[in-house]
Structure formats: C-alpha cells, structure tokens
Structure 1
Amino acid sequence: MTNRSDRWLAGFALAAMLACTMPSASAHQANKRVADANALVTTDIAPRPAPQSTRRSVSRSEKGPYYVDFRARTAASWGHAFVWYGKTSERAVDVAGLTPAGDTWSYMLGYLTWVPSETGASYGDLDPDYLTASYRVYLNEADAKRVFAYIKKLQASSPVWNAETTNCTGFIGDIAEYMGLKVPNRWQRPENFVNSLRDMNGGRQTVRLSAE
C-alpha cells in the first residue's frame, strides 16, 4: 500500500510541474477584467537585447506595425504562458492561451484526463504585476494577417486542456513554430519556456514568413 501511495504522489508531483494555470476567477470575471484593462494597457517590458554577435540594426519599417508577444505570468500553480498580439499603434491587445475551463475541480481533474478548455484571456494576463517573462516579435502587415488567422484557428481547434499533453506552453509553442521560430522543450515552467524561446532565437525582433 505504501509503494502504491508513493507512486501516486510522485505521478501527481510530475503532473504538477507541467501545469499551466489554476483558474482564479470565472470566465465572465476574466473577460470583464480584459475589457477594463485594455483601456490602460501599454507596451511593457522590452525583450532582452540579442548578443552583440547576432544583433543588427532594425529599422522601424522592418519591424512592422504588428507584433506577437510571448508571455509568462505567475499563477496559483506553476504559472501560465500565453500571447498578446495586435498592432503597435493601438493600446488594446488580443490575448490567446490555453487554460482549463471552470473552477478548481476542472483544473485538478486536468492532471488525470482532458477537460474542456478556454483559449482567450484568463485572470491576470493583463496585469503587469504578474508578468515574469516576455519575448516580443514584430511582423509586417501581410505576415501578421497570416499569423493572427493561425492563432484564431488554433483557438477554435483546441477544445481541451491536459496538464501533460495539451497545456499552455504547447499552445504558444505551436504559434512560435508556425512563425518559423526555434521552439524549446515544451514541458517546463512557462517562465523558463518563454526565456528559452527568446534565447534560442538570439533575441531576434522580426519574423518574415516564407512565401507559400
């Protein structure tokens, strides 16, 4: 009996390391917070500069008027990874991420099986006090349309959440991969994932999608 209990606890601890976020408010509360915060949000922390060996001058026109910001924040569990995306000249942002829908029970059940998900903003995504990592990449208008469409498609095709297989780092990793970025191991803390994503890509600030 002791060995069985030990194995169960070890498995639960492993699953906890892969978790994204415990919902701390209802979807209605989160959406209201997003609406309120969009009026106040600003471009916050800048991405870490690339090493001198890989850094190059980037003109304003090269950066483009659009961006995707890969982000991580604190949460009741091991944190949460998500993206901001939008137009640099606008203060409002769109938010996409993968979280379990519902209350704490749904979150706990998500360690054992798949549970229904939410793919929009969750509580705390727009609060700078919770931010732990950020890596922003700029795109031109044509590429932004493609990437933003992919994000919306990914949201529509991600109906479930599971701590081990379909979690928040995997979700934003799919976006990064679509953009042609090098993607780190997805089974790590959200903060470490975003920092590794930035470092693996040399802190590059622009992305150009290859022509289809």
Structure 2
Amino acid sequence: MRSIYRLLLFISLLSSGVAYGQISEDPEERREQGQSPLKSQTPEGNPLPFKDRLRFGGGISALQFNPFSIGVSPVVAYQASEHLVLGVGVGYTYSNYKNYFGGNLNQYSGRAFAMYEIIPSILPNLYAHVELDQRSYSTTDQLTVNGRTTGSATATWVGATYSQPIGRLFAANLSFLYNLNYANNADNYLLFGNQPYTIRISFF
C-alpha cells in the first residue's frame, strides 16, 4: 500500500511540473513549430507579466549637415494585446543655424500613440496609427531684441505603420502619418516642416 501512495505522489508531482512548464512556456518556442511567437500571452492563453510586454527603442531623426541638425527620440511601448501597442516617447532635436541667422534651434517633444493591427489574417504587421505629439522650440540668434524666440504646436497624427518584426518584441517600423492639426504658420513650419504629412522610421 505504501508503494502505491509513493507512486501516486510521484505522478502528481510530475503532472504538476508538466503543467507549470506549459504555463511558463516561452512564446518564442512557437518558432520551432513554424508559427509566429506570441507577444502578450503564452501558447496556452495565459497573460505574460507586465515586464515581458514592454518594448524599448526609438530612432534618430532630422540628421543633416548643412545646416547641421540631429535629433533623438526614445520610445517605451507596451504590448497591450496581440494586436494593440500603446506607447509614449520624448524627443530632442538640435539645429545649428549660425551661418543663416547666427543662432541655434532646440526642439523638444512628448508624444503618446496607439497602434492596432488592422487585418492580421490578410495583411500581418500593418497597423492603424494614432498619435498625439506636443512640441516646443527655442532659438538663440542675433536678430531679435532679447536673442531668444520660443513657440509650440500640437500635432494629431493619423495614418499607418508597417512593423517588420525583429524578434518577439522588437521591430523596424515604417510610418506614414498625416497631421490633422497642421496650420501654415511659423511654429508649425519650424516644428513639423512645410507639409502636413511625415514619413518616419523607428525601432521598438
């Protein structure tokens, strides 16, 4: 009888270990079966922990040499579901216009965005993209009385992003966005350019 109890105890421990292994299975293991790795849950449908859904990245923007300009835009995104990504980002761009008006241009930005995979069964990795982008700038020059000019503007971007996966939670993103708030004035021109649309490449 004692040997039967031991056998039952061994079987129960073994089955518990197998069950735990299934619950904690890495979604990346689906690649071995020719399937895409899951982004927000295990293959058994259990939600992944918060930290396992975070995506970090960003991009370098506005790089040019005459006049010199460079910008950085780090991003933190959260894989809310298999098809929904939410994120926030900040940005800074420095431009040197000393040869033009004797000064520099500093741009600052903060944004929040949402991306939803529209029809994954037909066009996988194509996302509808909505974003609120608040920007401000300051210039130092020799043309104004106090040598400094400031301004700000807000963009509401709508459009599409194609996201090419590089691993389970990292991708190269190509975005085509249109600014619904664009106005033909100096602030918008300095902060968003002379057109109401933008093409952006980012990684997260």
Give the TM-score normalised by structure 2. Answer: 0.26
- TM-score, normalised to structure 1, is 0.25
Structure with larger Rg:
2
Structure with higher strand content: 2
